[in-house]
């Protein structure tokens, strides 16, 4: 039977997993429904902090993290992570805790440094790359985010979330054609990836590709009707036939 501390740890973990990405996105102006739903991109079982795989983390430390999180003491959480990293700087759990706390403080560049350490220590873990890119986007550095994600794709190309975030980064830069290509890869890997369909439709709208846009709205309507309705509001203007 699980102890109360472990149960609390798991509850906190689920909240943290969502909050990391949401805090990054909310720092950007004019965030879309697709961005607001980014936290859902991190599938269950992959988040390496505050959840399972805690062999290196004592019960006392779990309780302490839960207490600091519950109080919203992000500075205290940074300090606590630093204390533990002083003993083992290769522990990616504590780099993630520290990055999370920095993002809660709105210090996205410092968060990026933490996530960069995770990438260095675990280069095949796409979650680290994705969070690094999101912290760069939150710091209003979409070009760096796109570069980060392209580097990640040199290692692995089977992560729909990575392709989706690349599409978002290109959208930030106003580069709608490469954004569409990235979103296409995301939905090719996961046909039910509603946020990526939304991004694809949005990129078609920005390019004036009305027929393609209508097809995406139809596809999205069967996956996520509210998101399809939101996308429909971005319908490009119909071309007016030229008079002879």
Could you give the CA distance from residue 151 to residue 21 in angstroms, rounded to a whole number?
20
Could you give the CA distance from residue 160 to residue 185 in angstroms, rounded to a whole number?
7
| pLDDT confidence band for 28 (50 / 70 / 90) | very low
pTM: 0.76
Per-residue pLDDT reduced to its tens digit, 40-52: 444 333 333 344 4
Tell me which of 72-76, 77-81, 90-94 is least confident: 90-94
Residues 6 or more apart whose CB falls under 8 angstroms from that of 53 comprise 93
Residue 56 φ/ψ, nearest 5 degrees = -85, -5
Where do the structural domains in the chain lie, given as residue ranges? Answer: 1-140, 143-235
Could you give the CA distance from residue 169 to residue 166 in angstroms, rounded to a whole number?
5
Q: Confirm whether 1-140 and 143-235 share one CATH topology.
A: yes
Could you give the CA distance from residue 125 to residue 171 in angstroms, rounded to a whole number?
24
- Cα separation values, 175 from 178, 180, 244, Å: 6, 9, 34
Percent of residues, the chain, with pLDDT higher than 90: 59
Per-residue pLDDT reduced to its tens digit, 139-165: 999 999 999 999 999 999 999 999 999
Q: Can you give the pLDDT at residue 55?
A: 52
Alpha helices per DSSP H over the chain: 4-26, 33-36, 59-71, 74-85, 92-104, 108-121, 126-138, 142-155, 160-172, 176-189, 194-206, 210-223, 225-232
Top CATH class of 143-235 equals mainly alpha
Can you identify the CATH homologous superfamily of domain 1-140? Tetratricopeptide repeat domain (1.25.40.10)
Per-residue pLDDT reduced to its tens digit, 84-120: 999 999 988 889 889 988 988 999 999 999 999 999 9
Per-residue pLDDT reduced to its tens digit, 182-201: 999 999 999 999 999 999 99
Q: Can you give the pLDDT at residue 170?
A: 98
């Amino acid at each position: 039977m699980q102890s109360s501390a472990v149960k609390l740890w798991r509850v906190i973990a689920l909240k943290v997993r969502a909050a990391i990405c949401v805090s990054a996105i909310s720092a950007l102006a004019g965030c879309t429904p697709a961005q607001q739903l980014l936290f859902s991109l991190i599938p269950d079982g992959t988040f390496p902090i505050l959840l399972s795989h805690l062999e290196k983390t004592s019960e006392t430390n779990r309780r302490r993290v839960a207490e600091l999180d519950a109080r919203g003491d992000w500075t205290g959480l940074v300090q606590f992570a630093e204390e533990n990293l002083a003993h083992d700087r290769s522990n990616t759990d504590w780099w993630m805790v520290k990055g999370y706390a920095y993002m809660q403080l709105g210090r996205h560049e410092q968060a990026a440094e933490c996530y960069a350490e995770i990438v260095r220590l675990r280069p095949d873990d796409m979650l680290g790359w994705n969070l690094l890119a999101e912290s760069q986007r939150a710091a209003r550095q979409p070009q760096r985010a796109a570069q980060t994600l392209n580097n990640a794709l040199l290692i692995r190309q089977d992560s729909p979330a990575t392709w989706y975030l690349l599409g978002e980064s290109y959208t930030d830069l106003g580069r709608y054609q490469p954004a569409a290509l990235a979103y296409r890869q995301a939905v090719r890997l996961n046909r039910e990836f509603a946020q990526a369909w939304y991004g694809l439709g949005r990129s078609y709208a920005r390019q004036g590709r009305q027929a393609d846009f209508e097809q995406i709205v139809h596809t999205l309507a069967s996956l996520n009707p509210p998101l399809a309705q939101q996308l429909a509001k971005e319908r490009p203007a119909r071309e007016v036939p030229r008079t002879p």
